[in-house]
Amino acid sequence: MSIVRRKKIFGTHRAPRFLRVFRRNAEASHSQGNRVKLYDSGGEFFPAMLEAFAEARHHIHAEFYLIRDDATGAAFAEALLAASARGVDVSLIYDYIGCFDTPSAYFRRLERGGVRCLAFNPPPFRRGLAWFDKRDHRKVAVIDGETAFTGGVNIGDEYSGFGVSAERWRDLGVRIDGPAVTVLSHLFREFWLEEKGSPSLAWFMEHAPLAAMGDAEVMIVSDGPHHARSFIHNAFRIAMAGAGESIRIMNPYFVPGPRVIRSLLRAVRRGVRVQLILPAKSDVPIVRLVSRGYYTPLLRAGVEIYERQGSVLHAKVMLIDDTWGVVGSANLDQRSFHRNYEVNTIVVSREFGSQVAEMFTDDLGGSRRVVLAEHERRGWGVRFMERLCNSVSWFL
């Protein structure tokens, strides 16, 4: 198939054929009439989410991988307790391993205040030792079934700033108003029941279908280790295959495996401009070593790789043709593809795409481009460590 014809078929992610292929292979829900707002830092995301908590009338569903007992965690707890005190039904799911350092007194206080808390996979790891490696990596808050906040932001001080200091990481999230929120609400409730949580009577109250709030098409892709294949992985690859002009990716843990690499290389051969922003400094140094082992074939093919300087990069976003934006909890690594519960939001909107494109351009300004000649001059010791670490990339 020629490049021109491929662009004609796949160049727009609104094409019915493409959407059918995507929804079938990624098990993606689809809704129209949504309003989506990008918060390009945790410093904007947290105040907006806590303000929405303060306005909740019926219920709050919150699900976060990591919740710290620090200033941000305290503000989060106070907002949930205040909502519960005024009669709002509040339910919280947290990952036991992710919150291993969080004192149990933190969650006991929430429960005494009426917040129903459910730990994912606590000891004795009732599904066997292998289940110890599974994580609930989602970050979602749903308010009254009408408004949702999601992205890559955990509850902790390092996620709550503007990404300009070592103590405040670079992260982002979105607010969704409209029909897509119903999908996230159902996802939370199904997971709660699967984990043996008791349902709330408030969940069974009848609510009118959500009216259209904007013009954004939204698809929700969720995944977990119980699936025979990774829908998150499929979603990334199909979106890349549909690119006609550009692919822009910002991700903190780039251990994608050969199939994603081939998808990027094919895109370049079609004439698509591919840009990656990856961290210059990682909170998991071994991941950076493995990531750099993927650089050479990508650079040789013409992929532009940039390493963001300064604070730790934790943002997870992909933008296709400035129209198809992907924001969520999933990293481009094997853990997110196969061993975590994850959720990504795909937004098909020129307006939202322009917001993401502007943010990406700003981050490029604080990034250093990786040059092939310089990369290939790295010493034998670094190459040895890359190869050694690559042997355990499945577990990262």
As annotated, the active-site residues are: 137, 139, 144, 314, 316, 321
- In this structure, what is the dihedral angle of CA atoms 39, 368, 248, 268, given to the nearest 10 degrees? 180
- In this structure, what is the dihedral angle of CA atoms 94, 95, 99, 102, given to the nearest 10 degrees? 40
The one-letter amino acid code at 246 reads: S
Contact assessment for residue 366 and residue 277, using Cβ atoms and an 8 Å cutoff: no
Question: What DSSP string runs through 99-154?
Answer: TTTS-HHHHHHHHHTT-EEEEES-TTTTT-GGGGG-EE--EEEEETTTEEEEES--
Structure tokens at 318: 């992909």
- Give the C-alpha separation, 31 to 220, whole Å: 9
Provide the β-strand partners of residue 348. 217, 324
- Give the C-alpha separation, 187 to 138, whole Å: 11
Give the strand pairing for 273-279 and 254-255.
Answer: unpaired
- Give the C-alpha separation, 93 to 120, whole Å: 7
Determine which helix (DSSP H) or strand (DSSP E) holds 189, and give its type and residue range.
Answer: helix 180-194
- Give the C-alpha separation, 154 to 329, whole Å: 10
How many CB atoms neighbour CB 222 within 10 A?
25
Structure tokens at 11: 């160049």
Task: For residue 166, give the DSSP letter.
Answer: T
Residue 135: exposure state from Cβ atoms within 10 A (0-12, 13-18, ≥19): buried
Residue 105: exposure state from Cβ atoms within 10 A (0-12, 13-18, ≥19): exposed
Please tell me whether residue 297 adopts helix, strand or coil conformation.
helix
Provide the β-strand partners of residue 110. none
Structure tokens at 267: 């895109």
